[in-house]
Amino acid sequence: MKAPQLSLDLEALRHNVRAWLSFLAGRELWAVVKSNAYGLGLVRVARACVEAGAQRLCVIDMQEARELREAEITVPIVHVWATPVDELEDAVKLNVAVTIENIETAKELARIAVGLGRVAVAHVAVETGTGWSGIPSSQGARFATAARLPGIRWEGAWTHIASREQMLAQLDLFNTAVATMRKVGLPVPVEHVAATAPTLWGAPGEAVRIGVGLYGGSPGGPMRGLPLRNAVSLRADVLYVKQFEQATSLGYGGTSVAKPGESIATLRLGYADGLPRALSSGGHVRLKGERCPIMGAIGMNFTMVKVPYGVTVQPGDEALILGDEEGVRLDEVAQRAGTIPHQLITSLAGLSGRPSA
């Protein structure tokens, strides 16, 4: 019995990086490879992004940065979270740009950098409406005055955009804070506020942090001039096919009924593999090039789909659940599952690299 497989098309990934770079028209693309590149493989994703032209990489902890450096990836790395004090020394040694959100941490960074005889690169996070991290937007002047310390080069400032509805108000807060810091004497020349969706909404900045957009996701909505390909695909084998002679309830809860004469194929794929159960209602797969609706509740290991009349399906045939075809693209499947493409990928990521037999 072959297990379901989640695959990453590295050439499609490179294509997407190049498409984003063309769309950005001179702004820098920083590839977000945090959380093991959404579970798809930190080093291989990072290397492909850099090969395609990504100028920097963004990580969520210092262990990821260490793995990248050990893999001899030398492009600048930015820690897009308030860097803990106990990781500052490692960051300086690994040549990672840290994020600072308070004066105490800035002073410790300066002490470490001077002690090592180096200049630490730092970015300041500004809190504008997520509550995750950053100096209060009203404290720009106070922070800048105290943060002019030896051993630190203040390279940039950033924030998280919470939603399209909040973006303009957040940008106002961010811009006010940055302008104040610059006026007081903290240069922070690089602004990066846009992730994938805010980039599509028109958020400004010298650089953008692209994460799910690397794989073909566009949660901000489709955009002309941005021909993304789905770089992630999910396939599962048909275990058996049954044609029902009488109306038969399917799966737990009897939420679907097979009509007399209908054929139902059972796939080796279920919620234990990360497939959202919400796809039980309105989800479908592609089998022999045809759209096959999911029938019944998705089980732990199995999913049933209705085979269209006139289509012959046999055990061992392969169903496409997620891929670069109409109806099963990343954004489409995520929307039907009532989730976001980021979560869909990370939920399925355990299948990436799993032995197929």
Q: Give me the DSSP letters along 163-227.
A: -HHHHHHHHHHHHHHHHHHHHHT----EEE-B-HHHHHHT--BSEEEESGGGGT--TT---TT--
Residue from 183, 240, 252, 259 carrying the catalytic annotation: 252
Q: Tell me how far apart the alpha carbons of residues 111 and 129 are, in angstroms, rounded to a whole number.
A: 31
Who's near 104: CB < 8 A, 6+ residues apart?
none
Q: What is the pLDDT of residue 353?
A: 62
Q: What is the pLDDT of residue 2?
A: 83
Between strands 290-295 and 190-192, the pairing is: unpaired
Q: What is the pLDDT of residue 333?
A: 96
User: Angle at the Cα of 128 (from 124 to 133), degrees rounded to 5?
Assistant: 50
SS3 66: helix
Residue 224 scores a pLDDT above 80: no
Q: What is the pLDDT of residue 251?
A: 86
Task: Mark whether 215 is an active-site residue.
Answer: no
Q: What is the pLDDT of residue 354?
A: 52
> Nearest Cα to 199, choosing from 164, 165, 230, 175?
164
Query: 252: pLDDT confidence band, cut at 50, 70 and 90?
Result: confident
Q: What is the pLDDT of residue 352?
A: 72
Q: What is the pLDDT of residue 351?
A: 83
Residue from 34, 38, 215, 271 carrying the catalytic annotation: 34
Match 């039907």 to its residue by tokens.
336
259-268 pLDDT, tens per residue?
999 999 999 9
45-100 pLDDT, tens per residue?
999 999 999 999 999 999 999 999 999 999 999 999 999 999 999 999 999 999 99
Rg (the chain; Cα; Å) = 24
Q: What is the pLDDT of residue 221?
A: 73
Task: Mark whether 252 is an active-site residue.
Answer: yes
> Nearest Cα to 294, choosing from 312, 282, 310, 278?
282
284-336 pLDDT, tens per residue?
999 999 999 999 999 999 999 999 998 999 999 999 999 999 999 999 999 99
Residue 36 scores a pLDDT above 90: yes
- Mean pLDDT of the residues in the chain: 94
> Which domains, from first to last, does the chain contain?
9-215 (3.20.20.10), 232-323+325-351 (2.40.37.10)
Q: Tell me how far apart the alpha carbons of residues 162 and 159 are, in angstroms, rounded to a whole number.
A: 9
Joined tokens for residue 255: 């939420």
Match 């139902």 to its residue by tokens.
264
pTM of the predicted model, to two decimals?
0.94
